[in-house]
Amino acid sequence: MNPLVRNRLVGLAIAVVLFAVDQISKSYILDTLRLGLGQSHYLLPFFQFTLTHNYGVSLGMFTAESQTMRWILVGVTGFIAAVVTVWMVRERKLADIVPLAFILGGALGNIKDRYEHGYVVDFLDLHFGEFRPFLIFNVADAAITIGVLIILARSLFVREKAPEQPADTVVES
């Protein structure tokens, strides 16, 4: 198989797996544990499941206070997911495709929630006593964050080598 096709298929597979893990984890919270809004399920002294509904996007911003806003958010996030998909398919290197796949898989999970419920199901609650370094989040949010951090790290710290010029070639500036 062509390495370029393989890399793109790996990216799509990662996005699908992350989408599935996100949806399975939300189903576990809603259907198996049957947590109600605000209820918690203790796991560790610093981590528990606490069900919340996020009507906004990142960090609760742009809250959808009406059905119109809900569908606008679905449309905008759907458009962003489409842009990420095109970007991912245009990339060649697996190291560039993987973080985009994380973002795509996470975005699709949250879009499905907003489409189905009108809000995003959040439940991962990391805390140290009363201190919460993050808002309550979900697998999709974590995937999006990890993907963005990898893209930022690669853009800041990874430099592609320029093709070497033959010694007798004059480079104009």
Quick one: tokens of 72? 């606008």
Q: Of these residues, 22, 96, 113, 141, which one is catalytic?
A: 141
Whether residue 168 lies in the annotated active site = no
Find where tokens 């809900």 sit: 70
Give the DSSP H or E segment for 50.
strand 47-54
Whether residue 141 lies in the annotated active site = yes
* CA 145/CA 158 separation, integer angstroms: 19
Q: Which residues pair with 54 in a beta bridge?
A: 120
Quick one: tokens of 162? 């320029």
* CA 89/CA 11 separation, integer angstroms: 8
Q: Of these residues, 22, 96, 122, 125, which one is catalytic?
A: 122
Give catalytic residue positions.
Answer: 122, 141
